[in-house]
Chains A and B, each alone.
Chain A
Amino acid sequence: MASEQNVALLQGTLDLIVLRALSTMGPLHAYALANRLAQVPGHPLSLNQGTLYPALVRLEHQGLIKGVWGKTESHREAKFYRITRAGEKGLKEQTERWTRISGLVNTLLADEAP
């Protein structure tokens, strides 16, 4: 039960986290993205790197990000994802929504705390 809740939470927020990362870091491939999420200061996000792929394809289908094949510094091929203009707009909207909801949830939790 506990693990199911974690997954649900991740699915709801992973898209937002990916968008945010691409917005601040510029174009990234899935591997770099996973590394970046694992290195968030104070809150390292532990996830199987494979779980990023559904989020990437979802965002790409929505036109929020765009993937292009390129070369890494080590001359390996990789698909680089960059955030689109629609993605920036979406990120703004989703961030506002997240802030609103999380604020509401925090308030509710604080009110009802013993």
Chain B
Amino acid sequence: MQVRRFLRRLSTLFRFSRAEHELSREITAHLQLLEDQFVAQGMSRHDARYAAKRAFGGVEQAKELQRDARSFRWLAGWPIDLKLGVRMLARTPGLTIVGVIALAAAIGAGAAYLELTNDILKPTLDVPHADRIVGVTAWNQMQQRDETRNLTAFEAWRTNSSTVEHLGGSWPVGKHLTTPDGFTEAVRAVRISASAFQLMPAKPILGRTLRDSDEEPGAAPVAVVGHDVWQSRYNGRTDIIGSTARLGAADYTIVGVMPEGFGFPERESLWIPLQDKSRVFHVFGRLKHGVSASAAQSELSALAEAAMPDLRQKHIAIHVKPYLDSVMEEDRRSGEVIIMRAINLIFILLLGICGANVATLVFARTAMREAEITVRTALGAGRGRICAQLFTEALALSMLAAGAGLIIARYIGLWLKGLLLEGVGPMPFWWDDGLSLQTIAYAGGMAILAAAIVGVIPALKATGPQLQSRVREVASGTLTMKFGGVWTAVIVAQAALTVVFVATSFSLGWSAVKTRAGINVGYDRDRLLLAGIEWDGPRPAFDAIADKIRREPGVANVSFTSALPGTVFEQFSYEFESPDHQRNATTRMVTDELWSVGSRVDDRFLETVGFSLKEGRNFTPADVRNNAGVAVVDETFVRTVLAGRSPLGMRLRQVARGNNGQPGPWLEIIGVVSDAVVSERSGTEDASVYRPGLPDESTRLLVRTHASAGVLTQRIYAAARSVDPDIKLVDLRSAAQVVYDEGLMDRVFFRAFTVISAVALLLATAGIYALMSFTLARRTREVGVRVALGATQTDIIFGVFGRTFRQIGIGVAIGALPAFAVLESMAVSEGLMKLSAALLAILGVAGFVVIVALVSCTVPLRRALGIHPTDALRTQ
């Protein structure tokens, strides 16, 4: 029966006007019958009508009670409430603007962050049968990495697999692209099976895609180019088909142009046929209908074992995974994922701050509508009904803010993408610019949460138990609603959260940026170029390439290194052995695990970067050739790791990690060089150890130039190509640019936090101001009397606003503790920030909040002081 009633009540929600009409009709008939009765008793029609109404009782009240009984009243009035809410937005535009900005900032930032993390952590493929598209990897269990060089089982899979269709492979092209105009650059090019274009069906803008026949021996060399290459290197020419693209020393005829956004397997922009199938880097395909990944994995493993009998000995396991998992595994380590997800809480906190601020403003408005609320209650509206109305009004505001927030999120997304394009290069093809449904739902959820904070708290306060007693006061023209206990908590929390949020975000952002900019790093970054080196043929002649580049005008020196000074950190313990000449013995010492920089360099490295030798000697060409057991350390290393001991002659090695690890070789320290500083740090992070080593696959080319580096890039490409057309210099940039690009996320966070902090401060200001005006409006009479009795401005400030100041003071004090805890653990202990700076930042924000409170008083106070006592007494 209860279920039946519930359903009936629910259905009445959607038949509001019909039920309302029925009720009116019934009550009219009832009154008519009563009226007839009184007429029959001898009354006049006129008197009988009034007598009928008296006998019936309050008509509106009866209607309200019946509405409550027939439906979920607090829900039933939502269309009217919404209309009222929208009207209210228009009636108080100031509040609407501040409220929408505040909530939109919080919702927009949260939505943008969610969208970004989802794009990074769980992107989706937007192609048919995306769930069946898989990547096949060969996992080397011993080395804990994917085997990428030789997948000889590829051919066996392609011909024999009955579980995977459109199976194909790819192998990146480590060569420069040279266009007919003679311009050379490093584009992401790949040799790829034609099946890729069936797996990712995209119609070429011009010409055709690759075909199976292109892979046959003796087929004419052809290439398909991506939209960006077509635009930037071929000026978007429509007659590009048939033009030449030179990769290394080989010419390819362009047969097609792919549309924008096509970048399979990852972010490629040039595709040539996979002719040499003995070398495959990456295998992909589509599970046949109804086949599971594990079934495919079993079959491919069996085929691989047949084709490569030593597969088990090499501890290689074949894995079949969803495509995106196979290409972006390392980006999804669980710890980082949890942190990235947890950051969402910051945005919910931010919404809490913004919501509390807007709630303050809304309460001030609600208090002004006290009479309306009280009268409605007297007419029979329940507390739930009034709360529902105020909630719906707040929802109108927060939904508007959510809409604005989603627009903001979209622009933030595009802005971030722009930054990423600039700093990291093209986005992977699965990157989705649009907002996902989940993000839109999230914004909706945030809007409801905001409405709950903004609408319900003031509503509960406004409809509290003392409400009934207000009817009399309304009648006598005195309004009594006050900021009470709940409100004290809101104000305290608001001040506290403002301090926590603004102080920590600003300080963290600032310290992060400070570490990157304006620090003397110990070498000239603007005139130092560096590039990665890729090749897919025989090992390049590094010496000849270096000599050729060194002879270019404007080039001062050329060197090879495994890492730019001060950019790659490793963590391990060092073991030292130093000769103790007095006792004719050696002393040993093992350090704790510490961060330091280790790189393998050649004999010209120190000179090319611009370090000065402080002690001992540099590496000789023979040291480099023979991979000699020597090392050069920097001054920070001597100071922090060796604690100032004399380093020359000392031997060091890396201590073995874990049970199976091998210790590093013993290295004798032969020299000390000046520091390469990346940031102001107090720890060992900048302690550097340089070892001699010949260039290998991780090597980067360093070029020291006399003039600005930009103009030299084409000449460096040309010089490298003239020695070896089959190598590729990747990411040729100045060291300054590299450091700038690496600071990308810091800058993003700094800017985001600056904007958010500014909004939070703006809100705190608006909130405190509203509070002060409100307090004063309520106590105008009191101020008037105090002024009449000779109170000074100070007396008024502390007399009238004392309570608010105490609340703000308590909030600031409460907020300072967690703010300090965050700064201490995240910045001070990491050496990013001095303790005094952290304290200063917190004091600064706390002071600012208090100043805002003081300034907020001045306008209402001046107004109050200008009130003549007699006017004040007449007010209300």
Q: Write the residues of chain A forming the contact surface with B, with a CB cutoff of 8 angstroms.
A: 29-32, 48-51, 53-55, 57-58, 61-63, 72, 74, 76-79, 90
Contact = CB atoms under 8 A, between A and B. Distances in A.
A76 B70 contact: no
A76 B55 CA distance: 19
B193 to A, nearest CB: 68
Contact of A50 (B4, B61, B68): B61
B65 A76 contact: no
B30 A29 contact: yes
Contacts of A58: 5, 69-70
A81 to B, nearest CB: 10
A72 B70 contact: no
Interface string B62-74: 1101101110000
B57 A51 contact: yes
B69 A79 contact: no
A53 B23 contact: yes
Q: Which of B4, B30, B63 has the most CB atoms of chain A within a 10 A radius of its CB?
A: B30
A54 B66 contact: yes
Contacts of A72: 33
Given A49-B55, A51-B57, 6 more contacts: A48-B58, A53-B26, A53-B69, A54-B66, A57-B69, A78-B29
Nearest to B32: A76
Contact of A48 (B8, B33, B56, B70): B56
A54 B67 CA distance: 8
Contact of A53 (B9, B36, B66): B66
A50 B33 contact: no
B664 to A, nearest CB: 82
Contacts of B32: 76
The listed residue with most B CB atoms (<10 A of its CB), out of A31, A55, A79, is A31
B691 to A, nearest CB: 85
B36 A50 contact: no
Given A61-B8, A79-B26, A50 B59 contact: yes
Contacts of B57: 48-51
B712 interface: no
B34 A31 contact: yes
Contacts of B70: 54, 57-58, 61
Contacts of A29: 29-30, 33
A43 to B, nearest CB: 19
29 contacts: A31-B33, A49-B57, A50-B57, A50-B58, A50-B61, A50-B62, A50-B65, A51-B57, A51-B62, A51-B65, A53-B62, A54-B65, A54-B66, A54-B68, A54-B70, A57-B69, A62-B1, A62-B4, A63-B4, A72-B33, A74-B33, A74-B36, A76-B29, A76-B32, A76-B33, A76-B36, A78-B26, A79-B25, A79-B29
A76 B23 CA distance: 16
B27 interface: yes
Given A57-B70, A76-B36, A62 B5 contact: yes
A32 B29 CA distance: 12
Nearest to B6: A61
B34 to A, nearest CB: 6
A103 to B, nearest CB: 24
Contacts of A48: 55-58, 62
B73 to A, nearest CB: 11
Contacts of A30: 26, 30
B75 to A, nearest CB: 16
A53 B57 CA distance: 12
Nearest to A47: B57
Nearest to A50: B62
A61 B678 CA distance: 75
B36 A57 contact: no
A2 to B, nearest CB: 16
Contacts of B63: 53
A57 B66 CA distance: 7
A77 B9 contact: no
A97 to B, nearest CB: 14
Contacts of A78: 26, 29-30, 33
A61 B33 contact: no
Contacts of A90: 1
Contact of B34 (A49, A63, A79): A49
Nearest to A31: B33
B4 to A, nearest CB: 6
B343 to A, nearest CB: 49
A51 B69 CA distance: 11
Contacts of B8: 61
B69 A54 contact: yes
Contact of A61 (B4, B27, B62, B65): B4
Nearest to B59: A50
Contact of B9 (A31, A54, A61): A61
B282 to A, nearest CB: 65
A51 B56 CA distance: 8
Interface string B1-26: 10011001100000000000001011
Contacts of A50: 27, 56-59, 61-62, 65
Contacts of A51: 57, 62, 65
Interface in B710-767: none
A57 B57 CA distance: 18
Contact of B5 (A54, A61, A77, A79): A61
Contacts of B26: 30, 53, 78-79
A77 B61 CA distance: 23
B721 to A, nearest CB: 86
Contacts of A31: 29-30, 33-34
Contacts of B25: 77, 79
A50 B30 CA distance: 9
A101 B408 CA distance: 63
Residue with the highest number of chain A CB atoms closer than 10 Å, among B4, B33, B65: B33
Given A30-B30, A62-B1, A53 B65 contact: yes
A62 B6 CA distance: 9
A78 B69 CA distance: 21
A75 to B, nearest CB: 10
Contacts of B23: 53
